[in-house]
Chain A
Amino acid sequence: MIKIMLTSEKIEYTDRDTGKLGMWLFLFTELFLFGGLFLIYAVFRKEYAHDFHLGALDLNALIGTTNTVILLTSSMTVAMSLTAIQTNKPEKAYNLVLITVILALLFLINKYFEWGHKIRLDIYPGSDLMKNLPPGEIMFFGLYYVMTGLHALHVIAGAVLLLIIMRQIKTGKINQEHFLSQENGALYWHLVDLIWIFLFPLLYLVT
């Protein structure tokens, strides 16, 4: 019933397709994680359409646009780094990942000033000003903080992954033949970018 094959070859457990399948499945779970917030957003947007319009007027679309450009550019550089490693240019790949990390930092710095500005204006959950706003605006700013906050955590996680990848390029662990972890890191970074592409219009451009 069961024939035994005469082979002593070991199975390569982390071949490229296996590793990538795992990463794609993980990305699905991330989409579902944000999906819960998008669902809440949809419910309250329908209920408080006008308040969401007013809330979005208070957000700085310029900073939002800048951050969008920054993330889109970083997605490009991380994709270029992958091409570089595949064509055996580790130095170039290293520098491109480094640029990606710098762009991630720029994004976070912008975010810091944006949040800081809001908090100085007394717009944060539980502040005296917020208590007197109409409920729709309270929901809007609640969503603004939770969604961009969770996204910022993902930016930080992605940047840490990229730092590990930089180290692995330096030590030669990532090379022309073995670049699975870099590929997965890049996939993750694209996800971080993609989620922002949805957050940006939903929060900044709904006016």
Chain B
Amino acid sequence: MINAITTNPVNYLNKKKGLWSWLTTKDHKRIGLLYQYSIMIFFFTAAVLGLLMKIEKFAPGPTIMTAQTYNAMFTIHGIIMIFVIVIPGLSAVFGNFFLPIMIGARDVAFPRINLLAWYLYITGALIALYSQFAHGHSPDAGWTFYVPYSVISHSNMVLALMGAFVLGFASILTGLNFIVTIHRLRAPGMSWFKMPLFPWAIYATAWIQLLASPIIGITLLMVVAERVMGIGFFDPTLGGDPLLYQHLFWIYSHPAVYIMILPAMGVVTEIFPTFSQKPVFGYGAIAMSSLAIAFIGYFVWGHHMFTSGIGYYSRVFFSLLTFLVAIPSAIKVFNWLATMYGGSIDLKTPLLYAISFIFLFTIGGFSGLAQGALAANVHLTDTDFIVAHFHYIVFGGMGFGFLAAIHYWFPKIYGRMYNLKFANIAWGFIFIGFNILYFPMFILGVEGMPRRYFDYLPRFQGLQEISSVGAFILIIGLILMVSNLIYYRYKGAIAPQNPWHGVTLEWTVPSPPPEENFEEIPVISDPPYQFKEPVRN
């Protein structure tokens, strides 16, 4: 394979010019970038809110804000992070950009709906953000919108709920688009089991987006109806049942956890073979475990409600299923490790992020099992332990998956290389900061520190301070990482077509790709991940 150092003079970035050409684009690559830039901006907004909360917790008692402000902060931090960033995140950015290229298509099945979904996304995100600043109190019921508080709270709940509703609609359209794209637009010869594993992960994700999001849609509308019209489905004084809300909410929101994590698993599944120069171990097992996670993930929602007063047998049932869903996740972990085993490992930034993904995801996964056990759950419910757990999964999993993806595909997206040494240093800050920030929260939780409290007992102060210091290190790392990418996006060396010696289809097109990806649609004859020629690094 020849890696000629050439740039692609006419590509999707410069074929058309001007802001208007971006705002009206139907090119899946440009829409992917639109998502990427919006997600970056929202991410830093919500990350700053997180940092402010950590500063508040540096000492017991009020430090820099009031309790009510703190409630609003964790609510809006949660809403933005969950609904605006991690749920759409990977599939909207890298799914949009690379799914069509990796299956040998020129675009997604419905390019116009793709653009519509981005506009809906922006609308929803802005409504959610507006709820924070509009006249009246900022929403303060947490991102889970639990009734009865979300119904009686005197804050801009309706705006926040409508924002989440619109975001859900954007998510449905994206999922629908990807399912149809994968079914209809694979290149000639690319049978299902010749498809790379990132598209498989996106496929499983898209089904969850499609089938679970309508449930949250109707549930949020019901809460709006409760607030505006006083319908009373969830209000016991009118004959309703608040527990019903929790069921409906988690029927969506548990599968949504897999919307977040599955694409990240897909990304690292691409990175391990490339940086080990070895075919992925257990292709079929990885592809099928994605579908198994998506399927079983539908039937475990009750584990969020073990202490809410659901029946004894249903708790046993949900606990058992929760343990079952760990199996396909573990299959993936072992397959990734086996892929690296005996390979010619090239420890560059994307692989660093991918390996730390395994590390953090494993901690997050095991701590999840601790809470899936009925007895431990009673002790751990609503403590900092759960906060640490889901940050290890959502940030350590999806977040590190996202960062892995951006460092892996950056040369393809922009046609330039970033500074690897600098990127590794930034990774060090992020990884260390992350663990200092969140690991103490496991201990705090076990010792009894409740989540969402703005104050704490003096005996927790030591660990809280360590955690707050971690937040600063993490933020420094993130700033270093982003400035590296932004600077070298303009000043970096010209990237070759295939800098990492990958073998999936995106590495066969120039960097950056031309407007319609392929001059000629490729015909596929072999399974993916065939590293035939040994490469010296």
Interface residues of A, Cβ cutoff 8 Å to B: 1-8, 10-11, 13-15, 17-18, 21-22, 25-26, 28-30, 32-37, 39-40, 43-44, 48, 125-126, 134-136, 138-139, 142, 145-146, 150
Contact = CB atoms under 8 A, between A and B. Distances in A.
B373 interface: no
Interface in B284-313: none
A8 B519 CA distance: 7
A32 B211 CA distance: 7
A13 B233 contact: no
B3 interface: no
A117 B229 CA distance: 18
A124 B238 CA distance: 13
Contacts of B105: 11
A84 B525 CA distance: 44
Contacts of B240: 135, 139
Contacts of A3: 522-523, 525
Contact of B210 (A5, A10, A28, A43): A28
A128 to B, nearest CB: 12
Given A36-B218, A139-B240, A2 B508 contact: yes
A21 B183 contact: yes
B479 interface: no
20 contacts: A1-B525, A1-B526, A1-B530, A2-B522, A2-B525, A3-B523, A4-B523, A5-B521, A5-B522, A13-B106, A14-B109, A18-B184, A25-B176, A26-B172, A32-B211, A36-B222, A40-B248, A126-B230, A142-B231, A146-B231
Nearest to A139: B239
Given A18-B180, A139-B238, 13 more contacts: A2-B522, A4-B520, A11-B105, A13-B106, A17-B184, A22-B177, A32-B215, A33-B214, A36-B218, A135-B240, A138-B232, A138-B238, A145-B229
Contacts of A11: 105-106, 185, 521
B109 A43 contact: no
Interface string B162-198: 0000000000100011011001110010000000000
A50 B225 CA distance: 25
A31 to B, nearest CB: 8
B184 A139 contact: no
Interface in B217-252: 217-219, 221-222, 225, 229-233, 238-241, 244, 248
Contact of B520 (A7, A32, A44): A7
B283 to A, nearest CB: 15
B373 to A, nearest CB: 29
A7 B109 CA distance: 20
A29 B172 contact: yes
Contacts of B505: 2
A48 B233 contact: no
Contacts of B229: 125-126, 145
B518 to A, nearest CB: 9
A137 B183 CA distance: 47
B527 to A, nearest CB: 10
B213 interface: yes
A18 B186 CA distance: 12
Nearest to B229: A125
Interface in B474-530: 503, 505, 508, 520-526, 530
Contacts of B238: 135, 138-139, 142
A33 B222 CA distance: 11
A187 to B, nearest CB: 14
Interface residues of B, number: 50
B77 to A, nearest CB: 27
Contacts of A126: 229-230
Nearest to B225: A146
Contacts of B526: 1-2
B199 to A, nearest CB: 15
A4 B180 contact: no
B520 A5 contact: yes
A3 to B, nearest CB: 5
A48 B522 contact: no
B248 A136 contact: no
Contact of B218 (A6, A8, A33): A33
A2 B529 CA distance: 11
Nearest to A26: B176
Nearest to B532: A1
Nearest to B213: A29
Contacts of B113: 22
Contacts of B525: 1-3
B111 interface: yes
Q: Taking each of B176, B233, B239, which has the highest tally of chain A beta carbons within 10 Å of its own beta carbon? A: B239
Contacts of A142: 231-233, 238
B140 interface: no
Nearest to B241: A43
A7 B219 CA distance: 49
A34 B218 contact: yes
